[in-house]
Every structure is written in C-alpha cells, then in structure tokens.
Amino acid sequence: MERLLRTDSVNARLSWLLLAFLAVASVSGIAAGELLPWLLVAVVLGLALVPALAYRDLGAMLPWPLLLLASLPVLGTVFARPWLSSGLVTYVAVATIALVVALELHLFTPVLMTPRFAVLFVVVTTMGVAGVWAVGRWLADLYLGTQLLLDPTLTDAEIESRLMWEFVYSATAGAVAGLVFEWGFRR
C-alpha cells in the first residue's frame, strides 16, 4: 500500500498545486457565505497533509488523481458546473475520501486492512456518510426551517424516492471505488 504514496516530483507538484487552488477557493467561498462545500475542502486538505507530515517529506503525497476525485464537488461549485456537484459525483468524492482514510489508517496506525476489508470499509463508510447527511438535512429542515430534504413542492413519495436514490448512489460509488482500489492494489 505504501506504493500509493508517491514521492516523485511531478505527482507532488500537481498535488500541491491542487491543494493550493482548493485553499484559495475555500477562502473566497467562505467569504461568499458558502460553508458546506468548504467542509469537504478542509477534509481533503487535512487528509492530503498526513503523508507529508508523517514522513516529514513534502514529496510524499497521495496520488493527485485521488485528490482530484475527492475535490470534484468543490470544483463543480467553483467553476459553476452543477453536474460535478450531483449526487453520484458527490458520493464518488466521499468514497474516495473513505478510500484515503482506509489507506492512511493502514499506513500510519496499528490498524491493518486486507484489500477485501478495505473495500467493505469504503462501501460502509460511504453509505454511513450518506445516512448522516440525510439525518442532518432532516434535522435542519425540522429545527432551522430549511428545505434541504423536506421540499414542500414535492410529495412524500418523491422525497423518499430521492433519498433512496442517494443511498443507491452512495452504495454504488463506494463499491466501485473499493473495487477499483482492490484491482489497482492487486495490479
């Protein structure tokens, strides 16, 4: 698994460039009052810094494509591309983050994961995030008067259908990310 942490200069430069862009974009987004996408930026930035801090080497970075996948919803917000912030793409980002968490748990803690367990961990974590996100939106609708989940223009059946599709997206994204990880790990 340590081979996934690249120490080549091209990967490090691209990773740091992406992280710098995300940091600048997050400052401007927070100033504009958009807090939610920038929570994802904080998570990506934090996870991306772990290998560099652990190895005390700025060249030890996660592969830049992983960081890019985890950042897609934020890039969709920055570049006004709604399809990049869609449900499926968002859960691909969440699954990628779960994959990075599994990798970093394996590398930097006493936790050891087999590739199959890492796949299961990614799927369950992605679905868990979807569930927590749904409950959070429901609570915000009830107590803060938002319309994140309980849209009055939709019937109960339509709201439930949308929510179930989110769970399908999260399970699919988690399974695909986990299987791609296992395939890449075995390759």
Residue by residue, DSSP assigns 21-79 as HHHHHHHHHHHTT--HHHHHHHHHHHHHHHHHHHHT-TT-B--HHHHHHHHHHHHHHHT
Number of domains in the chain: 2
Task: Clarify whether residues 75 and 140 are in a common domain.
Answer: no
C-beta neighbour count of 53 within 10 angstroms: 11
> In sequence order, what are the beta bridge partners of 6?
61
Q: Evaluate whether 63 touches 16 at the Cβ level (below 8 Å).
A: no
Question: pLDDT of 18-77, one tens digit each?
Answer: 999 988 888 776 666 666 667 788 889 999 999 989 889 888 888 888 899 888 888 777
Question: pLDDT of 82-128, one tens digit each?
Answer: 776 667 788 888 888 998 898 888 888 998 888 888 888 888 998 99
Q: Which of 29, 63, 81 is the last residue of a domain?
A: 81
Task: Clarify whether residues 23 and 109 are in a common domain.
Answer: no
67 CB-side CA count, 13 A: 29
* pTM for the structure as a whole: 0.82
Task: Clarify whether residues 162 and 95 are in a common domain.
Answer: yes
Q: Which of 81, 112, 138 is the last residue of a domain?
A: 81
Q: Which domain holds residue 33?
A: 1-81
